Chain A
Amino acid sequence: MTTATLIRFAATLPPRRARMALAIAAGVALPLLSAAQADEAPASDHWLPKCASAWEDDMHGMCMAIAAALHDGGTEALVSLRKALPFHLREANRSPALGTALCRAMLTAVVEPEAPLVSAVSYDAEPGVTEALKQWRSREVFETDLGSADLRELSRELLNRSIFSARVTNADFLNEVGVAVDDILAGKTNMAQGRWRLLRKLKELGYDPMTGFPGDMANIPPAERDSLQDLSSERRLDLILETNVRMASCYAQHLAGNTPYALHAYPAWELVRLFHRETPRGSPESHSIGWGQRWSDALESVSGEGVADKLLVARKDSPIWQALGDGAGDYTDTFGNPYPPFAFRSGMAWKPVRRDRCITLGLISGDESARRTDAQLSPGEKEVRAAVEKLSPDLRAELERELNTDAERAFLDRTQSEHEATQSAVRDERIARAEQVQSDHRARMKAMTEGVT
């Protein structure tokens, strides 16, 4: 039996998609069978039962019949299969259109036994430079005497490109933070070693919580020892390291979550608690508002766009993520990013949600993917976009017209000149060919005349 025979047979089936699916199934199955037969491997033992079980019980007989026909080959098998199909469909009280799904199931059944053959896993211990590391290494030290409330007023782009901490004016210390976070992201050290490194640097620089850094001209208020304002306290050092490491990691997570396959296979995120906290937000001891309420506030601010009912699940392109990061509901402990951590010391993180669950939740339709988000833009592109948004509508329209005009003119000029060059070449070629034909004709006529005379 050849593939062509099988495809001709498939063409006799009524629904168009069923024909295509069967043809594909045949295209996959035939090489598999011929390879298996050449090795004398019992291929049917491997995939026939799976093929059958891929379908519901009442269609077992039909599926087995098709699978057997594919396996045994031969015109007789196909003829008997053609006769058997309507019988099986009637028996199962199904319409012939179900052939589409059947053939898909067959395709799955034929493909899946291949699984152990298709991938290979290997390892090496080379250090890897990840996106998180790249993002972190693009930052520069930014000394500031501003507190966290004032820092929130600064541009998010500036903060995302800076290594900073509230009321830290010492560049040496911030440089050390840069190195410590880099080492953690590269997997060279852990949090405790990073903390020790920063503590050692503070001692070296002569930091004291009451007086700050020696010779510091900034007017930084004295900090209570072991409080969050004390740079040398364990809580503050942990906060600096954990926040920066998580922000870099989650930025990379955001980027990866917006690749075409990720948007298709995992179109939504779920906000879940990943990190243990002694007193999580919303617990009675914390005297704070929990993530359920914060989610509701953010949800209200975006009118529920792309958000699932009663769950902390939303499409990747839903504006709720930015609203959470912006502290919608008047929360002042956020970072302004559309990715975790959404607030200081938050233990909440993202979990990708599979496509089938998103469809069940009504977040997405069967053939739809989530859109790409702003996280794909580089800081420079984001800055350009923000600058354009600040322009008046008239000015923006003019700018766009100018950009489009220039681009359009360049494109048209190029196209026109290319077109003219092509036309001219074609014309030259035609003239040359015509002249050649004419001269050949003249030569032939001359030869004939000479021959006659």
Chain B
Amino acid sequence: MNVHVAFTHSENGPLAKLIRGLDGQGRIDLHAAMGIEVQQTTAAHVGALQRAPDSLLAKLGAAPTNFYQHAAERIESPAALASDASAATLTLNYPGVARAFRTITITPVNAKALAIPFDRMAVGRSPRDCWQELHLFIPKGKGYIAMRVGTEIKVMWLLRRFVTQPQNRALLPSSARWEEAASLGANTYLRHALN
């Protein structure tokens, strides 16, 4: 997903006039400065995201999967950050980022069902990874994958045809926060240039 940050082509305001007067490298550098601040803001926000305390994984007491931390480091790759005369573009390449903007429905790929971890041992793993080692099986007519422990059966994963995750805008900084960061970059750059 790409986030583009640019100046509004407003008729009002001295800054808009000043920026309209910039073309070529000055404008590119200005956008780059805005993009870097937006990128730092986004990376800091995503890196600080923690699993919700009432989430299933937290209740299972599983170790963190570092999902958001990996995502944050990839936003930092401002490779990610391309700037040109029209805008600075920040690319967010990690699964699930679209959830910040819409409700998403996840369906299985190359499988009949999604496996949702239901045990601490199952977190961050696919049943395929350890089907044989853990002697996993699906009890007939049941919607879960189980493991036999002695005479008991332990539920490891729940099986679902699809999972719907509601939109959560808080997974990324708000648009206002992004605008603030972009303005900070622009102001810092312009002030530095004026001095």
- A residues whose Cβ falls under 8 Å from a Cβ of B: 24, 27-32, 35-36, 39, 107-108, 110-112, 114-135, 185-193, 195-196, 199-200, 234, 242, 245-246, 248-253, 255-256, 259-262, 264-266, 274-276, 278, 347, 349-350, 352
Q: Are B187 and A185 in contact (CB under 8 A)?
A: no
0/1 interface trace, chain B 170-184, chain A, CB 8 Å (1 if under)? 000001101110110
The secondary structure that dominates the B interface is helix
B33 interfacial by beta-carbon distance below 8 Å: yes
Interface size class of B (residues with CB under 8 A): 35 or more
Q: Are B194 and A24 in contact (CB under 8 A)?
A: yes
Contact of A123 with B1 at beta-carbon distance under 8 Å, contacts A234-B125, A246-B73, A278-B63 already known:
yes
Q: Are A39 and B175 in contact (CB under 8 A)?
A: no
- Write the nearest CB–CB distance from A101 to chain B, whole angstroms: 12
0/1 interface trace, chain B 66-110, chain A, CB 8 Å (1 if under)? 110110111011111100000001011111011001000000000
Q: Are B183 and A115 in contact (CB under 8 A)?
A: yes
Q: Are B36 and A187 in contact (CB under 8 A)?
A: no
Residues on A with C-beta less than 8 A from B194 are: 24
Q: Are B2 and A128 in contact (CB under 8 A)?
A: yes
Across the interface, A250 reaches (CB within 8 A) one of B6, B64, B73, namely B73
Nearest A residue to B9 via CB reads A120
Nearest A residue to B80 via CB reads A130
0/1 interface trace, chain B 153-195, chain A, CB 8 Å (1 if under)? 0000000000000000000000110111011011111111010
Residues on A with C-beta less than 8 A from B17 are: 31
Residues on B with C-beta less than 8 A from A265 are: 33, 36-37, 185, 188
Across the interface, A249 reaches (CB within 8 A) one of B12, B19, B74, B182, namely B74
Q: Are A130 and B13 in contact (CB under 8 A)?
A: no
- Write the nearest CB–CB distance from B105 to chain A, whole angstroms: 15
- Write the nearest CB–CB distance from B48 to chain A, whole angstroms: 10
The secondary structure that dominates the A interface is helix
- Write the nearest CB–CB distance from B93 to chain A, whole angstroms: 4
Residues on A with C-beta less than 8 A from B94 are: 187
- Write the nearest CB–CB distance from A199 to chain B, whole angstroms: 6
Residues on A with C-beta less than 8 A from B76 are: 249-250, 252-253, 256, 350
Within the assembled complex, what's the spacing in Å between the Cα atoms of A190 and B74? 13
Within the assembled complex, what's the spacing in Å between the Cα atoms of A195 and B129? 8
Q: Are B5 and A117 in contact (CB under 8 A)?
A: no
Contact of A117 with B6 at beta-carbon distance under 8 Å, contacts A24-B194, A130-B79 already known:
no
Q: Are B15 and A261 in contact (CB under 8 A)?
A: no
Residues on B with C-beta less than 8 A from A31 are: 13-14, 17
Across the interface, A121 reaches (CB within 8 A) one of B178, B189, B190, namely B178
Q: Are B47 and A115 in contact (CB under 8 A)?
A: no
Across the interface, A275 reaches (CB within 8 A) one of B6, B36, B69, namely B69
B4 interfacial by beta-carbon distance below 8 Å: yes
Across the interface, A118 reaches (CB within 8 A) one of B37, B183, B188, namely B183
B137 interfacial by beta-carbon distance below 8 Å: no
B128 interfacial by beta-carbon distance below 8 Å: yes
B29 interfacial by beta-carbon distance below 8 Å: yes
Q: Are A123 and B2 in contact (CB under 8 A)?
A: yes
Q: Are B79 and A255 in contact (CB under 8 A)?
A: yes
